[in-house]
Amino acid sequence: MYHLTATLLHGLLSAVVATSGSYAARESGGAEPGPVIGAAETVRMADAQEDGAAAAESRAASAPVAAQKRARAALLSGVPRADRRAEIREASVAPLSAERAADPDERVRRVGTPVPPGLTAARTKDRRTARAAALEQLAQEWQGLDGPDLIQVLDSLLIDVGTSDETWAAAAAMAGDLRITRLAPRLAAALDIAPTSDIARRVAAARRALHGLYGVWFEGSEEVLPLATLVEGPALATYRAQLLGLEERLLAQLTRLWVHQPDAAVLALVDLSPRVRVAAARSVAASVSSGTLDAAVAADALLAAADAEIDSDALCAQLEALSPLLQVRSADDPRVERGRAIIARGASEAPISVQHCLARLAAALPWQVGGDVPPASTARAAFELTQTALERVAASQPIDADVLIGVLQSQRSLSHSFAEQAVGLEPALSTAILSLFDRPEATREVRLAAASALVDLASVDDLASLVARCDQAQDFAVRFALSGAIAGLVPRIGLATPGARDLLQLLPKLVAAPEEQLRVRALAILDGLTADVTPAQLAELDLDIAYLIDSWPLETGVASRETLERLIRRLGRPQDLESMLQRDTFATAAARGPRQAASVVTVLASSNPGLLLRSARVLANIDDPEQLESALVEALQLGVGIDLDDAPTTGPPAPGTSPGANGAGVEPNSGTDAPGDAGADDGTGASSAEAELLAAQSAEFVGWALQLRALTGTLGSRGRPSGPDGSAPRPVLVPRILDALVRIHVPRAGLSAWERARAAALFAFDAGRAPDVVDRAFVEALDRAPAEDTDASVFGLRAERARFLVEAQRQPEALALYRELFREAGPSELTALGRRGLREYERLARAEPSDGTAAERARILLALVALDSWATLDRARRVEELFELLNAVNDAHVKPYAVRALELTEASGLTDPAQWEGIEGGGQVLEDLGELLSGVANAAEFGGAPPSDGGGAEEAAAPRATDASAPVGEAPVGDPDPAEETPSADDGAAGEGTGADGTGADGTGAGRPTPPGSGS
């Protein structure tokens, strides 16, 4: 390919020389063009081009070429820098003046170093874009006015044999990318460096730079001479573009050819063009994968090519192609041994830009012979291959983050491969990585890569260093990675490990971090560090967990909160809970998670009844309606569970927590009818003051229980849903707590006789006491009922007794009581009965048919559909109950009921065709509704009057009731979640397996006939 390109080059040379020379003359404005050839020389060279060899001799004899040769000889001879500059005359650039000779090497290295090979396509594109922008900026800055001159700086670096290979390569790459043709003699001289020289790799950099200038891969300096005197201009740019385009086409043709002739790809591994060598290496690997090339032949050819390769891109491509070929061989295969030798030499001598490629191959090589586990010495040898590369990359200026990441990833891969065999090698591996944090010029990417690698490569001895660097890190990602390395060491360290105390000092800062991931990591570290700590060790440590307590109520992450609560339970002491209560920290945490807050209290205050009671009061007074039910349960678990007879006095209830202030409708005893006179001994041996205090505390508990019952409808398991696995329903309060309320706190509470009797009846009913006991409790409570039922509490108790009578299989008595309640009920009382009570009443009325049953059912169903909660039911339930209502009204044929039914139907919106668009069977539902409504309309016009004993008729025609009007402190009798209602054997309409109000056992309406298309 090289020879074909060179032949084409000669065909273009005349026009390039002529056009470029005239362009240079125009640009110089008639001034001496320096090293650029003049017009006369251009004509002479154009004429000489006609006879080929003569032209070559003429160009070789030109004065600029002579100067180039002297420069090249100086470059290779080791002459001191000042003397070499004196040797350079017209073919060189004027040297830097003393005042502008400040060392710009670092800037050249940072900007000019080519993008390393072996990166992802996206990363390569990003870096090339960034490098191009940096080159343009540097070229604009270094114009030679009051600062460095770019060409002078690059010339100085290229001529100096003391310039490092990395800096020389960066300078050469800049010359090629910025099209500085005046530096071509310097670059051409490097082509003649002997392959055995210590700076032989400069040949590859020079060849790439000259390719950037002229579009040709030159083998020696003599080939450059015909073009070395040209300057950059439109003509040269045009023909260079043509040559580069031709190269692309030829390379594509070769790639297609190699698919069918893989042996040709093997031969191309030694082509002059590094781009051809890169493509050939990839083609060889593809041919082996497809089975068209023998793997052994390919491996030998690639190993030979890599052994002699001086171009970074080509070497990386060859190493990548070798990786799958060597990976499948035995660890003692000669080819694998040869690969290790190439890696070892490359780690010491190859450019920094390929160290990650060498490390990847080292990680991919086989190390296990047969089925034997590799010994520790093998692990050490494997790590040494990458350790040299790591140390070189870490010591380079500047550090290439991508190369470093590649090397570190290879080391991490080796650490996973060797696992136990690598234990003990970590200090040697981590030293170089930790040193990166001490480099002020280390970028964020470098620090992040180092921190990530330490997750696998850190040792216990590094704990103190890791803690210090994590404390100093400002970047979240770096700090998070370092905390991951610390977390990886936690199973191997204890509180006595050097650095553990420093770690405990660091954790409060991490727990207070704004990033949840870092907080979770910090808490996990503390959790692991203290998991096996004994109480004696904790006492010796005397840990201050104030930061955990302060973070607990503020933590938003679920995982963080769970770990915080576990740590507070493990590390906390009663005085910590006291601190939380004094600072309202516990109140804030309890409002977010009552159950978790109670679990903390249970541990920290298990032997301190006073703290338990104070915590319970905080829970009982949570303002959040969504958390109130759970908070009341936990408050009762904490408070009622205390043996108050043996507990010290804990002071009166906090302001706002008295039984009369918690919304439970329980008033403190102010008369003489309460059990246990405030000034008397209660039989427990307590003083009058203590007895009064205990009575007030019991009244608190009873008030909380009644408030909880108002939310749940029961304190037991009656009406509660079954478990997910079909297990028995869980009670609201565990039996032990409910039994203590019935046995201890209701009798002892400082309540009026009516309130005590009412609470005793309700709690006995919920606790599942014997029916005769519960019945007597209800009768006794109703006997003590006040004459004025100002808060509907008496009505609510009678409704509860009706429910009890149903459960006791005393249906006639229950029906009579429901009829009595319904006749007396106003809108608020109907709401107190709720869906459940009305459904029970309707079933009982349907089970005992009589002449007035149709009208009675119509009245009940009107009240049911008028409930505000009816609108929240799903479409299927509402459609079914509306059908049920319209059928009942048609059967009753009572004018007021029909008029009210039409109003409720219109308000439901279910007759609007738009509600049924796209719903299967919607048209049939509308048709059936129309038929029913025609009959109801007839009843509304020609129906009769309500029955003379039709109590509740006025209520049925009243405006929609509002469920929120249920009496405070009393259960909304019969309006829990429909899924929680109790099945009834005599529910003829519900069918088998349905709930008490006609719902399915799962509360979805399954098992009940529904009108066509009523599903939502």
pLDDT digits (tens, 9 = 90+) for 537-585: 777 777 778 888 878 877 778 888 888 888 888 888 888 888 888 878 8
227 compared with 373, residue with greater pLDDT? 227
Flag whether 895 is in a domain.
Answer: yes
Closest CA to 231 of 71, 26, 47, 85: 26
Compute the radius of gyration of the chain from its Cα atoms: 46
**Cα distances (Å, whole numbers) of residue 356 to 208, 215, 307, 406:** 21, 29, 17, 5
DSSP per-residue codes, 49-73: GGGTHHHHHHHHTSHHHHHHHHHHH
Q: How confident is the model at residue 81 (pLDDT cuts 50, 70, 90)?
A: very low
Distance CA 213, CA 193 (A): 20
Q: Peptide bond preceding 896: is omega within 30 degrees of 0, i.e. cis?
A: no
| CA–CA gap between residue 542 and residue 335 (Å, rounded) | 61
134-148, 800-814, 950-964 — which is least confidently predicted? Answer: 950-964
Q: Residue 582, class by beta-carbon neighbours within 10 Å (0-12 exposed, 13-18 middle, 19+ buried)?
A: exposed
What's the pLDDT score for residue 146?
Answer: 66
Residue in the structure block whose two tokens are 């890190």: 473
Q: With cut-offs at 50, 70 and 90, classify the pLDDT of residue 177.
A: very high
Q: Within a domain: residue 903?
A: yes
Would you state the pLDDT for residue 370? 56
Q: Which of 298, 189, 310, 246 is nearest to 7 (CA)?
A: 246
Q: Which of 220-224, 746-750, 919-923 is least confident?
A: 919-923
Could you report the per-residue pLDDT of 693-709, keeping only the tens digit for each?
Answer: 888 888 999 999 999 99
Cα 51 from Cα 47, distance rounded (Å) = 8
Give the SS3 label for residue 751.
Answer: strand
Chain mean pLDDT for the chain: 77
DSSP state of 668: B
C-beta of residue 617 within 8 angstroms of C-beta of residue 657? yes
* Residue whose tokens read 């019952």: 709
| Prior bond of 195 cis (ω within 30°) | no
Report the 10 Å Cβ neighbour count for 523.
Answer: 25
Confidence of residue 915 (pLDDT cuts 50, 70, 90): confident
Per-residue tokens: 314? 């080509």
Alpha helix (H) residue ranges in 848-944: 853-866, 875-892, 895-908, 922-942
- In a domain, residue 816? The reply is no
Of 892, 908, 932, the last residue of a domain is 932
> Distance between CA atoms of 666 and 611, rounded to whole angstroms?
24
Q: Six-digit token pair at 389?
A: 């590369």
Instruction: Give the per-residue pLDDT at 18.
Output: 45
Report the half-sphere exposure of 764 (CA within 13 A, side-chain side): 25
Which pLDDT band holds residue 663 (cuts at 50, 70, 90)?
very low
Phi, psi of 751 (to 5 degrees): -120, 165
With 70 as the cut, is the pLDDT of residue 102 above it? Answer: no
- Indicate the pLDDT class of residue 458, thresholds 50, 70 and 90: confident
Question: In DSSP terms, which residues pair with 143 in a beta bridge?
Answer: 149
Helices (H), 943-996: 953-956
Query: Is the per-residue pLDDT at 152 higher than 50?
Result: yes
Confidence check: pLDDT of 26 > 60? no
CA atoms within 13 A on the CB side of 979: 10
3-state secondary structure of 894: strand
If DSSP codes are grouped into helix, strand and coil, which group holds residue 80?
Answer: coil
Number of domains in the chain: 2
Question: Phi, psi (5° rounding) for residue 961?
Answer: -75, 155
Contact 955, 971 (CB under 8 A): no
Give the residue, 123 or 665, on which the prediction is more confident.
123
- What type of residue is 303? L
Q: Examine residue 951 and state whether it is found in any structural domain, yes or no.
A: no
CA–CA distances in Å: residue 168 to residues 188, 543, 736, 795: 13, 58, 85, 99
Write the Ramachandran bin of 34: left for phi over 0, alpha for psi from -120 to 50, otherwise beta: left
For residue 528, pLDDT over 80 is answered with: yes
Residue 564 in domain: no
- Model confidence at 653: pLDDT above 50: no
d(Cα 313, Cα 299) in Å, to the nearest integer?
18
- Smallest Cα–Cα separation from 719: which of 967, 966, 974? 974
- The two tokens of residue 170 are 């960066």
Long-range contact set of residues 1001-1009: C-beta below 8 Å, sequence gap at least 24: 1003/721, 1003/977, 1003/978, 1003/979, 1004/874, 1004/979, 1005/874, 1005/876, 1005/877, 1005/880, 1008/880, 1009/880
Lowest mean pLDDT of 590-599, 806-815, 997-1006, name the range.
997-1006
Higher pLDDT, 88 or 366: 366
* Residue 924 reports pLDDT greater than 70: yes
pLDDT at 199 over 80: yes
- End-of-domain residue from the set 932, 960, 980: 932
pLDDT for 10 equals: 46
3-state secondary structure of 809: coil
Question: Does residue 922 fall inside a structural domain?
Answer: yes
Q: 898 lies in which domain range?
A: 874-932
Q: Is residue 544 part of a domain?
A: no
- The token pair at 288 is 């082996």
Q: Is residue 909 part of a domain?
A: yes
Mean pLDDT of the region 238-256: 93
Contact by Cβ (8 Å): 994, 987? yes
Residue where one domain finishes, among candidates 885, 903, 932: 932
